[in-house]
A and B are shown apart, each in its own frame.
Chain A
Amino acid sequence: MEQVEDHAIEVGTVQDLDGYQGALGGLTRREFLSYCTGVAATLGLSSMMGLRIAAAATAPARPPVIWLSAQECTGCTESLLRAYHPTLETLILDMISLDYHEALCAGAGHQAEAYRAQSMKANWGKYILVVDGSIPTKDGGIYCMVAGRPILETVREAAEGAAVIIGIGSCASWGGIPSSDPNPTGAQSVHAVLPGKTVVNIPGCPPNPYNFLSTVLYLLTFGKPPELDSKNRPRFAYGRLIHENCERRPHFDAGRFALEFGDFGHRQGFCLYKIGCKGPETYANCPAIGFGDVGEGNWPVGIGHPCFGCTEEGVGFTKPLHALSRVKTYAPPTAFPAVDATKGEGVTPAAVAIIAGAAGLAVGAGAMALRGMDGKDESAAGSSHDSER
């Protein structure tokens, strides 16, 4: 706990939490349950969930999670709210203790900030730190102030006591849209402002919620992050190019491309490479898992829009939308052979000679065998004729 003092968390600003909890403590059991059911209704959950919220709220310690938001649009959170297996509430009610999240926490203002500080102090070295949004570094980070402090400082402070740091979204992973030219705020990724720390990146704009949830559940289950690639992205989600699993890939290979929006090829569902699809240089599992839990094909390319490479640094928000991508596997040829061109190999003289020879041999052998058969009474067969050998 000395570390807390070392890193000078503003414990002084922690308000009288006991007094606050005492306020709740004054409720009767009935009133408390009725309150929890009300919360569930607010969240659009069934009234049964009220009981679970109550149970979860009084459950023994779950891994605490501090979620900091920097220069972000809350898209990552919105994406998470649309997850159904597991649902976000399963995660935050059963699996983790989401102690601070600007958009989701019940408290506000000083109260929320105080609770964050309290939780960090109590769980120093044990909590999971999640950051969404990029970190402005120009002019001392004054372009993103939360609770009167530059978010840069808050993130650096929280990172010191974090067991694991997760950067969710492209902004946190590599800078995202705030870091695009001319980058007026000097926006940087989370790992760029935390030298020497390992940040698990879940890029995407927004990222698929299941990539985040799966990473967190992996962490909770195994106590360590899943296997990561060179950019610290979980390999299970970012190990392959979109191009590799794209349902339109056969069109790419066969040279069938949409050339502009609404043309014949586009309406036929042809490959979108020539209208700027960045699938061939973007690593993500979008074609494999889709979005919104409504079945296959529900992802940008699936609904007819070229991938714009949101997960990939130097592609998303950087390359022009309709510029050709740099194909990492192999580029299509400029001209394709006609579909009915002769393929495979046909007759060769040697093959015909062999077949003719075999047929001749069979006929000859058959004739030789027939020669001795008298056709009427063969009871003495083999006694009155020369054998073939």
Chain B
Amino acid sequence: MSALAHRPLGGRILTKPVFILGFFVLLGAYFIARRFIFGLGDVSHMSNGYPLGVWVAIDVVVGTAFGCGGYAMALLIYIFNRNTYHPLMRPALLGGVFGYTLAGLAVMIDLGRYWNAFNLLMPWYAQLNSVIFEVALCVMAYTTVLWIEFWPVFLERMPPAFKQRFNLEKFQAFLKRYMFVFIGLGVLLPTMHQSSLGSVLLVMGSKLSPLWYTAWLPLLFLISALTMGYSVVLLESTLVSRAFRLPSESALLTPLSRIVAGLLALFLLIRFGALLAGGHLNLVFAGDRLSSLFLIETALFLAPLFILASPGGRGSQRWRFLAAVSLLAGGSLYRINAYLMAVDPGNGWVYFPSAPELMITVGVVCLEIMLYLFFIKTLPILHGSANQSHGRLL
């Protein structure tokens, strides 16, 4: 697909939603500052029993799944050669860039001794048996790869004089020539760390409820990351085309929905198969808190499966949108459950995120949406209509 079709949307940047989002970003920044001045305990309810709090469970585990749009689309477009989907690639990539970069930011807030984080990159300190180490390295590498994949967007927007002055045309040619390497890495790395996010839970062993614990966790996390990635693309495409009055990408989204349905069916099959094989199916109807969470989660997965399995559901924008929302909610709940709600470290530990802790997460999410709006208005990301001028500040 030609890159020429991509154009900045233009339009006002400091709109009302941006001011509202900005307020929450500032509030989040205030609590982040408190965290760095007064320490983790000042803003967070994390403890020795629950060292992984809401920043990991939501900002990293759910956030990177939302950021898997780029991964899922790259897999489809470049590995399975479905080039027709190419117009969806750049916005999905942008979602990935933000999802992963801000997950990295959340980790830096979350790390007690963040100033030691550079040691992760020192090969002589590498602990090769650690799942978290693999996740950390992979996420760092993938974030870098995402920005490299995203570079052509900046380069297209730069004035030619500027590019000439800094010899960027050569760089552009280099990127164009070797992009396949980064695209390859961009598919490999998320496959590694998204499944490792499941392996992290394998280490938790009996701390995790048997409703979630299974040896298949890595595969389940990988598949759910893919379904969530495609759902983000469905959702984002629908919202953006409506909000900015762009031509609908329905012709692409309908067949894409079919893939989501297939993956979702596979996910549920493994999920329930593992429960059956492990003999824990009775816990589903135990009637306690965990079984309720499991049932809500399963309902949120089953609804999109039924919607997207039928041609009518796939073809309708409304139903497709609902299915994507439901799937994202289900996938998020699955991850939050597995990382927080269904985890009981024993010995009387309890955890519920504190208000400042949540405000930091809200701030990070708002920052993500704000930057997304800013980028699509100023950079050639979407297939825009030609009648809009470039971005204005007001």
Name A residues whose Cβ lies closer than 8 Å to a Cβ of B: 338-348, 350-351, 353-355, 358, 366, 369-370, 372-376, 378-379, 381-383, 385, 387-389
Contacts and interface: CB of A to CB of B under 8 A. Distances in A.
B242 A381 contact: yes
B352 A381 contact: no
A388 B352 contact: no
B147 interface: no
A52 B224 CA distance: 69
A341 B348 contact: yes
B245 A383 contact: yes
A366 B327 CA distance: 13
Given A354-B358, A389-B17, A343 B242 contact: no
A345 B16 contact: no
A354 B359 contact: yes
Contacts of B15: 389
B352 A340 contact: no
Contact of B319 (A342, A350, A369, A375): A375
12 contacts: A343-B47, A346-B350, A347-B352, A348-B354, A351-B355, A351-B357, A351-B358, A369-B239, A369-B242, A373-B238, A382-B244, A387-B243
A113 B16 CA distance: 100
A389 B47 contact: no
B107 interface: no
Nearest to A383: B245
A370 B243 CA distance: 12
A346 B354 CA distance: 8
Contacts of A358: 362
A284 B211 CA distance: 49
Contact of A350 (B246, B317, B350, B355): B355
B325 interface: yes
Interface string B322-355: 1001000000000000000000000111111111
Contact of A345 (B45, B48, B239, B317): B45
Contacts of B358: 351, 354-355
Given A345-B352, A345-B354, A389 B347 contact: no
A52 to B, nearest CB: 38
Given A342-B350, A373-B238, 15 more contacts: A340-B347, A343-B48, A344-B47, A346-B350, A351-B357, A354-B358, A358-B362, A369-B321, A370-B322, A373-B242, A373-B316, A382-B242, A382-B244, A382-B248, A385-B242
Interface string B44-59: 0101111000000000
Contacts of A353: 355
Contact of B243 (A347, A355, A375, A388): A388
B144 interface: no
Contacts of B16: 389
Contact of B242 (A339, A341, A347, A372): A372
Contact of A379 (B246, B250, B319, B348): B250
A353 B243 CA distance: 29
Contacts of B209: none
B157 interface: no
Contacts, number: 100
B47 A379 contact: no
Nearest to B11: A389
A222 to B, nearest CB: 25
A353 B321 CA distance: 27
Given A372-B242, A383-B245, A346 B17 contact: no
B201 to A, nearest CB: 19
B348 A343 contact: yes
Interface in B233-252: 238-239, 241-246, 248, 250
Nearest to A345: B45
A370 B316 CA distance: 11
A339 B241 contact: no
B347 A343 contact: yes
A351 B43 CA distance: 12
B7 to A, nearest CB: 17
A343 B239 contact: no
A230 to B, nearest CB: 31
A344 B52 CA distance: 12
A72 B394 CA distance: 91
B250 A378 contact: yes
Contacts of A381: 241-242, 248, 317
B280 interface: no
A341 B358 CA distance: 26
Contacts of A338: 348
Nearest to B316: A375
B55 to A, nearest CB: 14
10 closest A-B pairs by beta carbon, nearest first, are A350-B355, A375-B318, A382-B245, A344-B47, A373-B318, A378-B317, A345-B45, A340-B348, A347-B352, A375-B316
B331 to A, nearest CB: 14
Contacts of A378: 248, 250, 317
A373 to B, nearest CB: 4
A373 B350 contact: no
B351 A345 contact: yes
Contacts of B353: 351
Contacts of A347: 352
A347 B244 CA distance: 40
B178 to A, nearest CB: 38
Contacts of B357: 351
A375 B318 CA distance: 5
B321 A373 contact: yes
Given A345-B352, A354-B362, A376 B316 contact: yes
